[in-house]
Amino acid sequence: MEKKAKKLRLLPSVDEVLRLGGPQQIPRRLFRWAVRETLGRWRDILLQEEEEPPRLEEVREEALKVVERFLQPSLRRIINATGVILHTGLGRAPLAQEAREALLEASGYCSLEFDLEGGVRGERNSHIQHLLCYLTGAEASLVVNNNAAATCLVLNTLAEGREVIVSRGELVEIGGSFRLPQIMEKSGVKMREVGTTNRTNLRDYEEAITEDTALIMKVHRSNYRISGFTSQVELINLVQLGKRFQLPVVHDIGSGALIDLSSYGLEKEPVAGESIKSGADLVLFSGDKLLGGPQAGVIIGRGDLVERLRANQLYRAFRPGKLTLSALEATLKLFLHPDKLSDRLPLLHLLTKRSADIEREAERLAAGLKGVIGRKGEVEILQEVAEVGGGSLAGEELPTICVGVRVEGLPAWELAQRLRLSHPPIIPRVKGEKILLDLRTLEEIEEVIEVFKTVIRALKLF
């Protein structure tokens, strides 16, 4: 213990390091904090490990690196080489160029809640409502932070203290361990689950209706599938049941498809406009999944019900800001031109990439990486399967092509780590002794090659 105490005494003081000085552009207070952080880390090391204390100049350099990391933006652009299109950790849907430009336009003062014609206070929801109603056939709409907030607002407004009927086979769990039963509980409603995990019939709903029933809810199982001996009740039949008992029917379609994706060769998903046409009183969905926009929760349906939602005090807690609304408005406008949608909406472009295009990009990337790595590793083209991700299109397998890379003397996990810490960060898959760069989502070929040059140069293995 005495030996460790002696080493601790050899550590330079904060003032000694500060006297060496730092770059003028770094505030002295920030530099002092970084020095203290650095010395604190070294104290822990010297108490636990057999290390020699650092020199004064080494502490200064390390503190400057702490400052550099502190000042670096935490939210950074990354290159998605995972093959997961709606990657929740990477921000789900990449925004269209039009949405990015709209964000910039709205970033200063904007007409968020100001009526330019009348010169009076306006309503932020008006910027989106006409588009959503036109695209879906709904009477009215409301936008909130996310689909969980939409669910909570609807349940609390229409059913607080009363029962909501839902099929046991539709009690979904969404990302981050948020479960529908818990959302119902927090919304102040009593959940009345009917049927079994795999089979629910119309009679199950009808027999559950009492004087305490407030609404019927149907939830799309967007992030999983049940196959085999199964049955579920179609929305149109629930609507008829709701009308018979004067109960509103709410359809949570989750991923938020505004168009029929089966026309692009993808699996059929519930379309918001079709749910409205079938008679759902309210339809709920996300903005950052199959809609391809920013994170948001969208509510469409009957005008009188939407007005009740707007009057709920929770709406103020859940309402979105100007940046969300501007990006969502720009994204929705792309759907006015369905013939150009696959070219202008990044999500749809990635979902519908042709195999020939992916192969051509993979060959380009592989050739560039072979030139960087040479004989000190291996680069090969592999047939793989990509994912939609984001709890959408569960079970949909998208054929893709990956470039597999192995570098001699460097484990795959370490190569992946070095790529993650590069500029810009690249997020690959790791499979066995290789990293995989998936060309379904990776489109920045030249940037990736340049990053590899930097990483390989830093290794000093060659």
- One domain for residues 276 and 153: yes
Is the pLDDT score of 228 beyond 90?
Answer: no
161 within some domain: yes
- Nearest alpha carbon to residue 396 among 454, 350, 431: 350
pLDDT tens per residue across span 195-212:
988 889 999 999 999 999
Stretch 101-116: mean pLDDT: 95
Once rounded to an integer, what is the mean pLDDT over residues 34-38? 94
- Least-confidence region, from 178-182, 257-261, 295-299, 347-351: 178-182
CATH of the domain at 400: 3.90.1150.180
The answer to whether residue 347 sits within a structural domain is no
Mark whether 335 and 368 lie in a shared domain.
no
The pLDDT confidence band at residue 238, using thresholds 50, 70 and 90, is very high
Q: 334 with 380, same domain?
A: no
Q: Do residue 186 and residue 330 come from a single domain?
A: yes
**In a shared domain, residues 142 and 212:** yes
To the nearest whole percent, how much of the chain has pLDDT over 70? 96
Domain closes at, from 289, 318, 340: 340
Q: Cα separation of 283 and 356, whole Å? A: 38
180 and 285 both lie in a single domain: yes
Domain termination site, one of 340, 375, 398: 340
Evaluate whether residue 345 is within a structural domain.
no
Split into its structural domains, the chain has a count of 3
pLDDT tens, position by position, 386-422:
988 877 776 678 999 999 999 998 999 999 999 999 9
State the average pLDDT over residues 270-287: 97
What is the average pLDDT across 210-215?
A: 96
Residue 394 within a domain: yes
Establish if 44 belongs to a structural domain: yes
- Is 195 a member of any domain? yes
pLDDT higher than threshold 60 for residue 42? yes
Contact yes or no for 217/241 (Cβ under 8 A): no
Q: Strands 398-407 and 377-386: what pairing?
A: antiparallel
In a domain, 346, yes or no: no
Q: Are 268 and 384 within one domain?
A: no
Residue scoring higher pLDDT (296 or 266):
296
Domain extent, residue 443, equals: 79-87+352-459
> Can you give the CATH number for the domain in which 125 is found?
3.40.640.10
Say if residue 67 is in the same domain as residue 104.
no
Last residue of a domain, one of 319, 340, 361: 340
Closest listed residue to residue 254, CA positions, set 242, 271, 278: 271
Do 182 and 211 fall within a single domain?
yes
Task: Report the chain's mean pLDDT, rounded to a whole number.
Answer: 92
Report the predicted TM-score, pTM, of the whole model to 2 decimal places.
Answer: 0.90
Evaluate whether residue 92 is within a structural domain: no
Q: Based on the domain organization, do 140 and 238 belong to the same domain?
A: yes
Q: 78: pLDDT confidence band, cut at 50, 70 and 90?
A: very high
Q: Are residues 104 and 66 both part of a single domain?
A: no
β-bridge partners, 320: none
Whether 148 and 254 map to the same domain: the answer is: yes
